Chains A and B, each alone.
Chain A
Amino acid sequence: MEIKTNDILQKYPVGKSENLIPILQDIQDVEGYLSEASVVEVGRHLQMPTGKIYGVATFYNQFRFKPLGKYHIQVCRGTACHVLGSATVLEEIEKELAVKSGNTTRDGMFSVEVVACIGACGLAPVVAINGNFHAKLTADKIKELIDNYRNQE
């Protein structure tokens, strides 16, 4: 990871903080997100405090700080899904994958995100995995669903 960051940094002069945003864009293009290590590297190169870099990066919509998993699970928490028990679905997913929403599993296979209504109220509770909808989920169906994706490997 850091080697890549270094390669990118070589293209930009030391201490020129005006290049911060292009550098972050380049890093995210290559690595998919901004890791803490990258941000620290960038700070060293540009002689900028990491807090400032983080402040800049979180200001703009473009930047992410966690890699998405190979399978990105979006759990709908809209009203309809909520009423039909999406909370337990989410709980079960978190338990099965041993991650909290907003995070990615250690093996990088799955990331979990809670989203507002994705407009599939008729399918509630609904979960989208890489954009594919899985309808009318209950807690007991979660293991099978996730295993299906695991077994695709």
Chain B
Amino acid sequence: MEAQANISVKDFLIDEVLRDFSNNSKDEQVQEKIAVIKNEKIDQPIIYIGAGTCGLGAGADKTIKAVKKYLSDNELEAKIIETGCIGLCSAEPIMDIHLPTHNRVSFEAVTEDKVDGILDNVFSLELPKDAKSMGQFKSYQGKDWENLNFFNEHPFFAPQYRIVLKNCGIIDPVNINEYIARGGYKSFIKVINVDKPFDVCEAIEKSGLRGRGGGGFPTGKKWKFANGEKSDQKYLICNADEGDPGAFMDRAIIEGDPHRLIEGMAIGAFAIGATEAYIYIRAEYPLAIKRLEIAIEQAKEYGLIGNDIFGTGVNFNIKIKKGAGAFVCGEETALMHSIEGKRGMPRPRPPFPTTSGLFGKPTVINNVETFANVPGIIEMGADKFAAIGTENSKGTKVFALSGKIALTGLVEVPMGTTVRDVLFNVAGGVLDNKKFKAVQIGGPSGGCIVEKNLDILIDYESLMSVGAMMGSGGLVVMDEDTCMVDVAKFFMDFIQRESCGKCIPCREGTKRMLEILESITGKPQAGDNNEALERFKGVMQLEKLCAVIKDTSLCGLGQTAPNPILSTLSWFRDEYEAHVFDRKCPSGVCTNLKEYKIDVDLCTGCTICARKCPVDAIIGSKKQAHFIVDTKCIGCGVCFDVCKFNAVNVV
């Protein structure tokens, strides 16, 4: 039965939806059928569970088990669908319930213990009082829940404009039918039937789409370069080697809507005349890889991948290559070397990949978000897409929010939104109402935006103008308790470990920069004047090193490696000075600069601190006040933690 039904759904979608790409049938029967496939017209309840990596991390698998148990215990029939991430990671695990009679309603923080209560209530057509709902979705059938917001009114979602994330968290990511029923693959089929490859490049250029992976190079222009090359073979590569600490949008897109990426790549391959495509994805993303594999199989089965697609003579094949753990492989030429089975080391450009790329053939590389924009652009038209955003930055951008921020997760907002809007209106401001200090944008290659620049519009050029960059779109929020020297050190440590080692400025320079930062945040050595002098000289060199590394490094990784230092140095010079001259960490983060003192009036001489001190730096007799020997103390803070009388102070 099921198999047969599937075949008919497949034929229906291929013949009446995809082949009918130009002529949207208003036929009621067709619409109804589509609504069924979209799971909007249902005859049994559906329970959706956010099962992206973030959801699973929050315990979604236990929630799923609890739901299954509930259903079998209560002899209820319901379909369980595991979706990708809707974007509000801090609300995971998220569970939606869609009853045939009512709208789909979404609950947050549904840990396994909350499942029974929520389901009891919803199945008796009541909203649970003790569970927090994010809102309801309008559906094809069914009543509205009373006194409940609609999902798109939720403060986190209301300001968003979702092109790339349109389906994420909503649909079953591994059901190609649902993707097609929601308009998927139509753009691809239309393009290969109607357009010439060059027209597609034109359209993408006109849309103003720019690379979402970092540099922001106009995508249509890049495609045109490759389109203009004559070669027996060309390649298209999707860069899914998302390695920036603090960026996870690519993972979420693939986990939540893998077919969108495949369709975007299919269109891109057609535009440049490539028949072979690779997805280079981190091996650390097993779930994304699995969902991609399933999606690719499905697309093959539907004839959307393979040879002579839909009788048009167009060929398109796709392979997954798993990255083996090297951040530098995000760089185009390094990535290609890695696919070729070599060390992922960049090479000088020119020749550019569009002339001589993978295996020496013309190659286009774009990142996941860039490709995921493409079906939407074709669907809505280049002009409509170009109407979103600012003069030079069109469309939307997905940001990954993390750090000291109330709501963490993914947001997709139009270009030209202010940073303040994203942080304070969408994401609910700084965690625990602490004071905002800065937001790091663009990962290790990026820079930070401080309070006075929060009102700049998000677009490629504006961000550059304040010393930051779009990068892949990670936003790490820092509050008053964050030490900016420590942040710079964190990024430099990362970059230093991930430098490929090929070019001298990056290999040797990042190591030296890290050492200088370590000496700034390191323990002061009492009485050693030489050490202090060296530290001071190091800082004198830091800016010079930054400039030369930026100017002379071979690839983007090295050229942007000094950015965290340059950026923090320009906005938080005072913090650096405090570390260097006063030997103090104003935020109290750098433990080596912490000095602990025991308040003799409060100390009862209980001896616990002396016993717990790992380095025997605390002396004193029983029932007498204790003292800390500065030269022995390593600043670990154990004494501070164990003192029951608040006698240990940080000075």
Question: When the two chains form their complex, are residues A63 and B324 in contact, meaning their CB atoms are under 8 A apart?
Answer: yes
Q: Which residues of chain B from 247 to 291 have a CB within 8 Å of any chain A CB?
A: 283
Question: When the two chains form their complex, are residues B614 and A121 in contact, meaning their CB atoms are under 8 A apart?
Answer: yes
Q: When chains A and B are docked, how far (Å) is the Cα of A107 from the Cα of B234?
A: 51
Q: Which residues of chain B from 271 to 327 have a CB within 8 Å of any chain A CB?
A: 283, 321-326
B636 in the interface (beta carbon within 8 A):
yes
Contact mask for chain A residues 108-136; partner B; CB cutoff 8 A; 1 contact, 0 none: 00000000000001111000000000000
A61 in the interface (beta carbon within 8 A):
yes
Question: When the two chains form their complex, are residues B326 and A59 in contact, meaning their CB atoms are under 8 A apart?
Answer: yes
Q: Which residues of chain B from 324 to 338 have a CB within 8 Å of any chain A CB?
A: 324-326, 338
Q: How far does the Cβ of B635 sit from chain A's closest Cβ, in whole Å?
A: 9
Which listed residue (A60, A83, A123) contacts B615, Cβ 8 A? Answer: A83
> Size class of B's contact patch?
20 to 34
Q: Which residues of A contact B636 (CB under 8 A)?
A: 80, 121-122
Question: When the two chains form their complex, are residues A18 and B340 in contact, meaning their CB atoms are under 8 A apart?
Answer: yes
Task: Name which residue of chain A comes closest to B359, CB basis.
Answer: A18
A22 in the interface (beta carbon within 8 A):
yes
Question: When the two chains form their complex, are residues A25 and B634 in contact, meaning their CB atoms are under 8 A apart?
Answer: no
Q: Which residues of B contact A121 (CB under 8 A)?
A: 614, 634, 636, 638
Question: When the two chains form their complex, are residues B326 and A122 in contact, meaning their CB atoms are under 8 A apart?
Answer: no
Contact mask for chain B residues 397-408; partner A; CB cutoff 8 A; 1 contact, 0 none: 000000000000
B343 in the interface (beta carbon within 8 A):
yes
Question: When the two chains form their complex, are residues B341 and A122 in contact, meaning their CB atoms are under 8 A apart?
Answer: no
Contact mask for chain B residues 338-371; partner A; CB cutoff 8 A; 1 contact, 0 none: 1111111100000000000001000000000000
Assuming the A-B contacts A17-B340, A62-B283, are A122 and B322 also in contact, with contact meaning beta carbons closer than 8 angstroms in the complex? no
Question: When the two chains form their complex, are residues A60 and B325 in contact, meaning their CB atoms are under 8 A apart?
Answer: yes
B612 in the interface (beta carbon within 8 A):
yes
Q: When chains A and B are docked, how far (Å) is the Cα of A83 from the Cα of B326?
A: 35
Question: When the two chains form their complex, are residues A80 and B324 in contact, meaning their CB atoms are under 8 A apart?
Answer: no
Q: When chains A and B are docked, how far (Å) is the Cα of A17 from the Cα of B359?
A: 11
Q: Which residues of chain A from 8 to 34 have a CB within 8 Å of any chain B CB?
A: 17-22, 24-25
Q: How far does the Cβ of B375 sit from chain A's closest Cβ, in whole Å?
A: 29
Question: When the two chains form their complex, are residues A61 and B324 in contact, meaning their CB atoms are under 8 A apart?
Answer: yes
Q: When chains A and B are docked, how far (Å) is the Cα of A35 from the Cα of B526?
A: 49
Q: How far does the Cβ of A13 sit from chain B's closest Cβ, in whole Å?
A: 12
Q: When chains A and B are docked, how far (Å) is the Cα of A22 from the Cα of B322?
A: 7
Which listed residue (B324, B341, B345) contacts A62, Cβ 8 A? Answer: B324
Q: When chains A and B are docked, how far (Å) is the Cα of A122 from the Cα of B612?
A: 6
A-B complex: 10 closest residue pairs judged by Cβ atoms? A61-B325, A60-B324, A20-B341, A80-B614, A121-B636, A124-B614, A62-B324, A59-B343, A62-B325, A122-B638
Instruction: Apart from A59-B345, A83-B615, list 20 A-B contacts with CB within 8 A.
Output: A18-B339, A19-B341, A20-B341, A21-B324, A21-B338, A22-B321, A25-B324, A56-B342, A56-B343, A59-B500, A60-B324, A79-B615, A80-B615, A80-B636, A81-B614, A83-B614, A121-B614, A121-B636, A122-B641, A124-B614
